[in-house]
Amino acid sequence: MADQMKPGSGPLDYGNRLWLKILFGVIFFMLYVPIITLVAFSFNTDRRGIVWRGFTFDNYVKAWNNSALIEAMVNSLMIALIATIIATVLGAMVALMLWRFRFPFKGAYEAFMGLPIVIPEICMGVALLLFFNETGMMAAVVAMPWPLNLSNIIIAHVAFCFPFVAIVVRSRLVGFNRQLEEASKDLGASEWQTFWKVIVPFMMPGLVAGALLAFTLSLDDFVITFFTSGPETVTFPVKVYSLVRRGVSPEINAASTVLIVITVVATVLAMKLQAPQKSGKG
């Protein structure tokens, strides 16, 4: 019997089953065809974007010259940048606290920190809209000059990003050998020096991964921004939303492609940093 078996046809060798390969093909086809056609048609000369008529960069030039679209993109990047910095600092501090200390009701505190992750986005969005309105923050911020008029959106983004950063950084800290900390203190370093020279360098991959995660989450967010942005402020997803409601156009394809490239690069970087270090690299 055994000699009749081809390689890859063993009872547990599911990876080589034809039906599974076909299924993989179909599902990946369905996952990627919409995105690939979106990217491909950003280079299409046809205005209505249905039939392929020829290769062009015109749509990118048009998107670039569309000042409203560029303004929305700059807003989005600015929000993502500031929100990422604040969220990374807050998330890292919470992660350090959870990693280092035991305290009463720790389980409840962790669940509390996880709330922004589980709560429906739309509920968080409307709650913040109400809060900013009732406290007068909405009216105050709308009158401020750029980039201060983005403050409410940044505050909202930090609130849903930093619990994610805390989770990423904490999972990195779990691998820390606390004897290193003790050794550092034995050798005369202060608590502060130990923190900067021993713990922070160890945390670094987690910090970068957490920051990139926060950056993509912030850049991607539509729902919460939709509610917390004032009538005047537009971010890239909010702008695309209003354009999409009016119909499909190759300009949106071009702008979307730019955003896809940014997020994919950030994600691949984050994954590389989070992956367990190969031996030899330390």
The distance of closest approach from Cβ of residue 159 to other proteins in the complex, given in angstroms and rounded to an integer, is: 5
How far apart, in whole angstroms, are the C-alpha atoms of residue 185 and residue 179?
A: 10
Instruction: Check residue 68 for interaction with other proteins (CB under 8 A).
Output: no
151 sits near other proteins (criterion: CB under 8 A): no
Site for other proteins in 251-270 (CB under 8 A): 252, 256, 259-260, 263-264, 266-268
Of these, 27, 68, 144, 180, which contacts other proteins (CB under 8 A)?
27
Question: Quick one: which of 139, 148, 180, 271 contacts other proteins (CB under 8 A)?
Answer: 271
Give pairs for 259-264: CB < 8 Å, separation 24+.
259/219, 260/35, 260/39, 262/219, 263/216, 263/219, 263/220
Sites for other proteins among residues 159-218 (CB under 8 A)? 159, 162, 166, 191, 216
- Exposure b/e, 42-64, CB count within 10 A at least 16 = b: bbbeeeebeeeeeeeeebbeebb
Among 119, 139, 180, 200, binds other proteins (CB under 8 A): 119
Q: Which residues, in sequence order, are CB contacts of 77 under 8 Å at separation 6+?
A: 219
Does 129 participate in binding other proteins (rule CB under 8 A)?
yes
Q: Rounded to whole angstroms, how far apart are CA atoms 122 and 129?
A: 10
The distance of closest approach from Cβ of residue 227 to other proteins in the complex, given in angstroms and rounded to an integer, is: 7
153's tokens: 């959106």
Kindly state the smallest distance separating residue 51's Cβ from other proteins, in Å. 8
Residue with tokens 């950056």: 215
Per rule CB under 8 A, is residue 77 in the interface with other proteins? Answer: no
Q: Does 232 bind other proteins (CB under 8 A)?
A: no
Q: Which of 123, 148, 183, 200 binds other proteins (CB under 8 A)?
A: 123
Binding range to other proteins, per CB under 8 A, among 58-66, 141-149, 168-176, 243-251: 243-251
Distances from the Cα of 14 to the Cαs of 3, 6, 30, 205, in angstroms? 19, 13, 22, 35
Q: Please, what is the Cα angle at 147 between 142 and 148, to 5 degrees?
A: 50
Residue 34 lies near other proteins (rule: CB under 8 A) = yes
Q: Which of 29, 112, 146, 196 binds other proteins (CB under 8 A)?
A: 112
Do 254 and 59 touch, CB atoms closer than 8 A?
yes
- Is 12 a binding residue for other proteins by CB under 8 A? The answer is yes
* Residue 168 near residue 94 (C-beta atoms within 8 A): no
Out of 126, 140, 142, 189, the residue judged to bind other proteins by CB under 8 A = 126
